[in-house]
Amino acid sequence: MKCAPFDYVRAASVEETVKVLGEADGDGKILAGGQSLVPVLALRMARPAVLVDVNRIPGLSSIRRIDDTVEVGATVRHSRLAEQTEHPLLAEAARWIGHTAIRSRGTAGGSIAHADPSAELPVVAVATGATVTVTGPRGSRDVDAEELFVGALTTSIEEDEMITAIRFPQPDRWGFAEFARRHGDFALVTAVVTEVRGRPRITFGGVGSVPQRAAAAEQALADRRPAAEIAHIAAEEIEPTADLHGSVEFRRAIATEMTRRALAQFDSVREQSR
């Protein structure tokens, strides 16, 4: 099927984007990489009156280090994230997003805003305690990634707001493991183990409607329990949902193994840095 008609605005600035969205009064949408939005439009699951193309807004496509964080502009493509060396965990996660032709268009801001429960960047945002900068008619605000994701494909961003950047703290150590049916497919389970500013975090993607942290497993990691035990605690703690691709039990089994792998990588990084 083809998209329903819409007005197209190629925005020159964030201010213009916010203004057009405000005027559209809930009937406008930002068009970034289009890798999630265009299929939705083609299926006519959405038929916004206006699309605001943010791809040519200057200043939104840079990657900058600021103290112990790496700031990623909203329109930075997944392919660039995969190549950069400032934030190795982010690079690893980006390599798992779709295939080359998807990564060449999809953007960091679009992935966070789309909030797919199986997507990689939302998990890394929660796993590193990232901050998302959002601009609207009422000015700019910083939102904790954990507070941004409120449900599957749902965030706390308002209809007239735009994500301009995401600041990902650099973990001291990390491990990343993902299981998908084919490399490039959405994750069945993603496990990310990090130590950020001295605190361990264990975060999962693909097992619920938003990235989930496993607090008891994080405590077990802080207490230096054996990896098998931590993985077991984590898999019991999370609340996977069953779908076409796997039952709850299957997802728990995969989560256990992915946690073990992420922990092994996490430990090997510790050994290297000693």
Partner 1 sequence: MKISFSVNGERADLDVEPRRTLADALREDCGLTGTHLGCEHGVCGACTILVDGEPVRACLMFAVQADGASVSTVEGLQGTDGELHPVQEAFVACHGLQCGFCTPGMLMSACHLLDTRPDADRETIRAEMSGNICRCTGYQGIVAAVERARADMRDPAGPGEGPVHPWEVTFSEE
Ligand X SMILES: Cc1cc2nc3c(=O)[nH]c(=O)nc-3n(C[C@H](O)[C@H](O)[C@H](O)COP(=O)(O)OP(=O)(O)OC[C@H]3O[C@@H](n4cnc5c(N)ncnc54)[C@H](O)[C@@H]3O)c2cc1C
Closest CB to partner 1 among residues 10, 197 = 10
Q: Reduced to 3 states, what is the DSSP secondary structure of residue 65?
A: strand
| Residues contributing to the site for partner 1 (CB under 8 A) | 1-8, 10, 31, 34-35, 38-39, 41-43, 51, 53, 55, 79, 98-102, 104-105, 182-184
Identify what 109 binds: partner 1, ligand X, none; CB under 5 to 8 Å per kind: ligand X
Closest CB to ligand X among residues 109, 240 = 109
Q: Are the beta carbons of 204 and 176 closer than 8 angstroms?
A: no
Residue in 95, 114, 213, 251 binding ligand X, rule: CB under 6 A: 114
What letter would DSSP give residue 184? T
| β-pairing verdict for 131-136 and 162-169 | antiparallel
Rounded to whole angstroms, the Cα distance separating 16 from 25 reads 14
DSSP track, 151-213: ETTEES--TT-EEEEEEEEPPSEEEEEEE-SSTTSPPSEEEEEEEETTEEEEEEESSSSS-EE
What letter would DSSP give residue 82? H
Identify what 7 binds: partner 1, ligand X, none; CB under 5 to 8 Å per kind: partner 1
- The least CB distance from residue 163 to ligand X, in Å, is 4
Q: Which two tokens stand for residue 152?
A: 């599957």
What letter would DSSP give residue 59? T
Closest CB to partner 1 among residues 38, 248 = 38
Closest CB to partner 1 among residues 55, 156 = 55
The site map against ligand X for 126-165 (x = CB under 6 A) is: -------------------------------x----xx--
Question: Which part of the chain contacts ligand X (CB under 6 A), choosing from 99-107, 140-148, 192-200, 259-267?
Answer: 99-107
- The least CB distance from residue 43 to partner 1, in Å, is 8
- The least CB distance from residue 53 to ligand X, in Å, is 9
CB atoms within 10 A of CB 17: 25
Q: Which amino acid is at 47?
A: R
- The least CB distance from residue 19 to partner 1, in Å, is 19
Q: Are the beta carbons of 124 and 171 closer than 8 angstroms?
A: no
Q: How many residues bind ligand X (CB under 6 A)?
A: 30
The site map against ligand X for 171-210 (x = CB under 6 A) is: --------------xx------------------------
Residue in 21, 37, 126, 127 binding ligand X, rule: CB under 6 A: 37
| β-pairing verdict for 69-73 and 149-151 | unpaired
- The least CB distance from residue 121 to partner 1, in Å, is 17
Q: Are the beta carbons of 18 and 160 closer than 8 angstroms?
A: yes
93 alpha carbon, distance to own chain's centre: 9
Q: Are the beta carbons of 120 and 81 closer than 8 angstroms?
A: no
Residue in 20, 24, 30, 262 binding ligand X, rule: CB under 6 A: 30
Single out the residue of 15, 218, 45, 53 nearest to residue 135, CA to CA.
15
Rounded to whole angstroms, the Cα distance separating 106 from 194 reads 25
Interface residue list for ligand X (CB under 6 A): 29-37, 54, 74, 97-98, 102, 106-107, 109-111, 113-114, 116, 119-121, 157, 162-163, 185-186
